[in-house]
Chain A
Amino acid sequence: MTSYSVNEDDISTKPCRCNVFNSGARWLPYKQKPESRVLRLLLLPTISPSYSLINHPSRPGRHEMVWLTIFGASKSAVMASDQATLDGSLSSTDFQNSANAFAQKWNKFNSGFPEWSWIDCSNRLGFHRVTEGYLSLQHVLFPRSIEEEHDEGNSNDHQEPFDTATLVQSNSDSNDGDWYDFHVVYSSSYRVPVLYFHAQTSDGQPLNVGEIEKNLPSKSSDVLMDSKWTFITQQEHPYLNRPWYMLHPCGTSEWMKLLLADHNSTDRYLVSWFTVVGQVFGLKLPLEMLKS
C-alpha cells in the first residue's frame, strides 16, 4: 500500500466536521464496503470506469458497483502515472479557464436551462485586479417535492380529514417552488472551486436549512440529517459580503485527485467537479458535456 502515491493516510478515515463526503460519517478507503449513505450520495452519478459521467436514470441500482469500479480503476491509474502534479487542485487562472469552458459547454448543450455566466469582479475595489470573479447560475426553480406533499396529505387524512383541503390549498400556492442561485467561487486556500448557493421562496423569503433539505434529492437530505453542522454550512460569500450556504471544500482535492487520475486536463476540471457537486442538488450534466 505504501508504494501508492495516494495512500490511505491521505484519505482520512476520521470524521471530518465539514466535508460533504465524510461529514459525520467516514470516508471509506478501497478496502471497505461503501456502506455509508454519504458514499452512495457521492457516487450517485453513475460513473463509468473510463471516468466519463453518464446519467442512468433507469438504472439506479448500479451505484455501489460503480463505486468499486472507479476506485479500483483509479488505483491502478495512480500506480501507473507520475503523481507529482496530480494533487486534485487548480490554480486561479486555470479556474477561470476551466469555468469558461464549463459555462460554454453548459450553455451549448443545456439550452432551456438557465445559463452559467462569469461575473467579473476585477474592478470591485475601484481598481483593476487580475482574475477576480466567479461563475454564476441564477434563478433555478426547484419544485416542492410532490412525493412529500402527498405523504403529508395522507397522514393528515388519517388524523384530521377536514384539514386536507386547507393543506392542498397551501400546497398549490407553493407549487411554483423555490428559487436557487448557485455561485462557483475559487478558494485560494484549498485551491479548488467551491459551490455557494442561496435559496428563496417565490416571494423572496430566504430558506433555512430545513426548507432547503426538502428540495434536495432524498439521499442528499439523508446526509444533511446526519450532520446538520457540516454538510452545508453558512459562510460569508467572498464577493457579496453576505451569508450564503456552501459545501465545504476541505475534501474536494482528495476526490478530484481520483476523478482526474488519467484526465489531468484543467479544461475538464470543472465538468468533472460538477458531476459530483451537482448531484447534491440533483443537477445533472447532459451527456454531450462529458465528451472531450
Chain B
Amino acid sequence: MQGGEKEAQRYVWDGAIPLQVHLHDSEVTTLPPPPPALILAPRIGYLPLLSSQLKPFFSGALPPGVDTIWFEYKGLPLKWYIPTGVLFDLLCAEPERPWNLTVHFRGYPGNILIPCDGEDSVKWGYINSLKEAAYIIHGSSKNVMNMSQPDQVELWRSVMNGKLETYNRISSKLKLGIIEDDFSEKVNPSLKPPHTVNETEATTTLKTSRIPVRLYLCNTNQDFENLETVPPFDTWDQISYINRPVEINKEGKYFTLYDAVKSILPEFFHPAAEEEGKDGVIKVVRIQGIEPKMEIPFSWVVNNLMNPDYFLHICVYINVGRPMGT
C-alpha cells in the first residue's frame, strides 16, 4: 500500500485553487483598471507567497507608497497564516472556481490580521507551527530546533515550491512519524506479523499518541438544505478555531475520523444531540477539499491529508439552531 499512500499525499501536494484576483478599486490609479490576475494557488501554500507574481502584475496601477499585500473575500480579510486550501474549504461552503479574491497592497488591517512582512513572516509562521506539532508529538520541539540551517532552508523551499520528494527526505529526519497506519496494516497484513488478540498484550502496548489538529468550526446559525445557500462570513467571529491535539488510546479497535472529531467536539455527540436529526449538528467535515467518510481510520487521514506543518486542518460546518444544553 506504500504506493497508494504516496499517491494521496501527492494529490494533496499537487492540489491548487484557481484564483481570479482583483485589485481593490481604491488602489486602482489607471484607466482602464487592470484586468484580474488568474493564478493557481497551491493548497499547502500561503497567500502572501503569491506576491512575487501578483505585485509585478498590478504594480503599474498602484498609487505610490509602501506595499503590504493582503487579501479579502467578500469583505472578509483573509488570515495569511492559514494555508490557502484551508481558507478555501472554510470560506467557500460551495466551492467557487475560480475563487474570486480581492488583493490589497495598502491599508493593512492590523487590528484583524497578524502583521506580515513578506516571505520571512510566512516562513517563521510555518516553522513555529512545525515546532508546535513536534512538541505535541514528542513533548519537545528539539528536533525542529536542532535542524541544521541548510536543512531548514531546504525544507521551507520544498514547501514553498511544492517539492514533495525533498520535503519527505528532509522532514523524515525530524522523526515525526505520527501513528501506525491501521489501514495499510489491514489491507496488507503480510507486512506485519498478525496480532494475537490478547487482552494482556493489548494493555501492555497501550500507548497514547497525540495528533496535531487544527479544527475550524463554522456555525452557519441557520438551517441549510444545501451548501449553496450558506451565506458568506462577514467576520471571523462566526468561525471558531480549536487548536487541540487529538489523543489516541489504542485499545485494539480502530480509531476513526468520527472518534477524532468526537474527541474534540464531544458536545455534538450527546445522545440527545444525535437524536435531533438524522445528520445531527455536524453538517460537513472537510479536509483538503474532500469530505471523507467518518468511518475512515484516523491514522490514514492524518498520514495522508496533513499539511506540511504536520497539522491536520479540519473544517467543520455545524448548525446549532438554538443554544444547546440550556
Which A residues lie at the B interface, using CB under 8 A? Answer: 9-10, 12, 14, 16-18, 87, 123-129, 187-190, 206, 229, 234-236, 238, 241-243, 248, 250
Contacts and interface: CB of A to CB of B under 8 A. Distances in A.
A250 B135 CA distance: 8
Interface residues of B, number: 38
A12 B142 contact: yes
A9 B243 CA distance: 28
B93 to A, nearest CB: 18
Interface of B: 79, 81, 110-115, 124, 127-128, 131-132, 135-136, 139-142, 145-146, 212, 217, 219, 221, 236-237, 240-241, 243-245, 267, 320, 323-326
B112 A17 contact: no
Nearest to B152: A17
Contacts of A243: 110-115
A128 B281 CA distance: 14
Contacts of B141: 16, 250
10 contacts: A10-B140, A14-B146, A16-B145, A87-B139, A126-B324, A188-B244, A190-B135, A206-B110, A206-B111, A229-B124
B132 A189 contact: yes
Sorted nearest first, the 7 A-B pairs with minimum C-beta distance are A128-B325, A127-B324, A188-B244, A241-B236, A243-B114, A126-B320, A189-B132
Contacts of B320: 125-127
A128 B267 contact: yes
Contacts of A188: 243-245
A12 B114 CA distance: 28
A126 B115 CA distance: 30
A242 B112 contact: yes
A235 B114 CA distance: 6
A55 to B, nearest CB: 32
The main secondary structure of chain A at its interface with chain B is loop
Given A188-B244, A234-B115, A126 B139 contact: no
A234 B124 CA distance: 12
Contacts of B112: 242-243
B224 to A, nearest CB: 16
Given A242-B111, A242-B112, 20 more contacts: A16-B141, A16-B145, A17-B127, A125-B217, A125-B240, A125-B320, A127-B325, A128-B267, A187-B243, A189-B135, A189-B245, A190-B132, A206-B110, A234-B114, A234-B115, A241-B237, A243-B110, A243-B113, A243-B114, A248-B128
A86 B323 CA distance: 40
B241 A241 contact: yes
A243 B115 CA distance: 8
Contacts of A18: 124, 128, 131
A238 B115 CA distance: 16
B145 A12 contact: yes
Contacts of A14: 145-146
Contact of A125 (B111, B115, B140, B219): B219
B112 to A, nearest CB: 7
A12 B324 contact: no
A249 B102 CA distance: 35
Contacts of A187: 243
A136 B146 CA distance: 35
Contacts of A242: 111-112
A16 B111 CA distance: 28
Contact of B267 (A127, A229, A234, A236): A127
Contacts of B221: 126
